[in-house]
């Protein structure tokens, strides 16, 4: 069964599968946090984590992106007045490709009796031998709620959280998006289970996206890629759209990401390297960027 397969892979006691990653976050956060609780959320965390926090009615405070000491200060100030506390972050940030300092965040959560939820939509299949961002740290930090989607690195559809027996049991009876929404169909779940087998058995596939991304960032003089996602920041939305159009004409699909998805003035081309890309594909991309006049 996929849930026990996920739990074994993630190193937790159990896991719960939801209809999608979005539904998973909505269900987990609203089941575990309410009006008397506190939620601390990374300023760049995915929109569905923010929606989930708002829906929970917990007091919600943002901490500056990846700033563990700012989180510690916030908890120092706000933790005492709250019953439970959840800290929400992504493992790999979807629009920047950088990684959360899960080791430091986990320590701070432990010190302040808070639970850490890591949305690892973009870490699975790429980091930590494909097991996700937490598994790229040694020792592996305690992440109470390892959440993710079956739809990105795993190529199927659905969402999940890997956690303790007790938390999973609670979520199965309290997470409204689990209880009141149909489970995903068997086909995509079987595909996800097979994808996990492939990730475990063919480690070259999980290494390749980061290798390609690192080679690309080194060639262009960009900061070294931390994941398969590499943003090319260009500033204005029109510039990003024009560059995306030029790349498209050269046979490359690389979307222009603009405000409000990213902060004002940080429009970008978002590149996502995959194991299916050949060396020639990456050369073609570099050539197209040169022709378009892009420089880092």
Ligand X SMILES: *Cc1c(COP(=O)(O)O)cnc(C)c1O
Binding residues for ligand X, rule: CB under 6 A, are 20-22, 46, 48, 90, 94, 119, 121-122, 149, 151, 159
> Chain centroid to CA 8: how far?
20
Closer by beta carbon to ligand X, 20 or else 60: 20
- The residue (of 82 and 105) whose beta carbon lies closer to ligand X is 105
Residue closest to ligand X when measured from CB atoms: 21
CA proximity to 292, closest of 229, 233, 257, 248: 248
Minimum distance from CB of 42 to ligand X (Å)? 11
88, 117 Cβ separation under 8 angstroms: yes
Instruction: Pick the closer one to ligand X by CB: 21 or 231.
Output: 21
Minimal distance in Å, beta carbon 9 to ligand X? Answer: 17
CA atoms within 13 A on the CB side of 265: 0
Residues noted as catalytic: 94, 122, 152
In whole angstroms, the minimum distance from the beta carbon of 159 to ligand X comes to 5
Q: Please return the burial class of 35, using the count of CB atoms within 10 Å of its CB with bins 0-12, 13-18 and 19+.
A: exposed
Minimum separation from the CB atom of position 73 to ligand X (A): 25
CA distance 98 to 224: 10
Backbone angles phi, psi at 16, to 5 degrees: -125, 135
Pick the closer one to ligand X by CB: 191 or 250: 191
Q: For residues 242 and 244, what is the distance between their CA atoms, to the nearest angstrom?
A: 5
């Amino acid at each position: 069964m996929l849930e026990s397969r996920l739990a074994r892979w993630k190193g937790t006691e159990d896991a719960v599968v939801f209809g999608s990653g979005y539904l998973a976050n909505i269900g987990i956060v609203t089941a575990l946090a309410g009006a008397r609780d506190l939620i601390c959320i990374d300023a760049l965390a995915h929109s569905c984590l923010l929606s989930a926090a708002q829906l929970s009615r917990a007091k919600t405070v943002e901490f500056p992106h990846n700033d563990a000491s700012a989180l510690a200060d916030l908890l120092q100030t706000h933790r005492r007045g709250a019953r439970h506390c959840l800290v929400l972050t992504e493992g790999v940030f979807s629009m920047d490709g950088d990684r959360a300092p899960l080791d430091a965040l986990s320590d701070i959560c432990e010190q302040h009796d808070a639970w850490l939820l890591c949305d690892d939509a973009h870490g699975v299949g790429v980091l930590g031998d494909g097991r996700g961002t937490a598994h790229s740290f040694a020792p592996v930090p305690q992440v109470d709620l390892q959440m993710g989607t079956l739809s990105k690195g795993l190529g199927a559809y659905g969402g999940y959280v890997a956690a303790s027996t007790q938390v999973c049991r609670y979520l199965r009876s309290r997470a409204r998006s689990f209880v009141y929404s149909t489970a995903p169909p068997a086909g995509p779940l079987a595909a996800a289970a097979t994808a996990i087998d492939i990730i475990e058995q063919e480690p070259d596939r999980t290494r390749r996206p980061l290798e390609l991304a690192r080679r690309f960032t080194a060639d262009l003089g960009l900061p070294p890629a931390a994941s398969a996602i590499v943003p090319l920041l260009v500033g204005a939305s029109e510039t990003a759209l024009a560059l995306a159009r030029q790349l498209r004409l050269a046979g490359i699909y690389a979307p222009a990401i603009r405000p409000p998805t990213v902060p004002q003035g940080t429009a970008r081309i978002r590149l996502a390297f995959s194991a299916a890309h050949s060396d020639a594909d990456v050369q073609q991309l570099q050539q197209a960027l040169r022709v378009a006049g892009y420089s880092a």
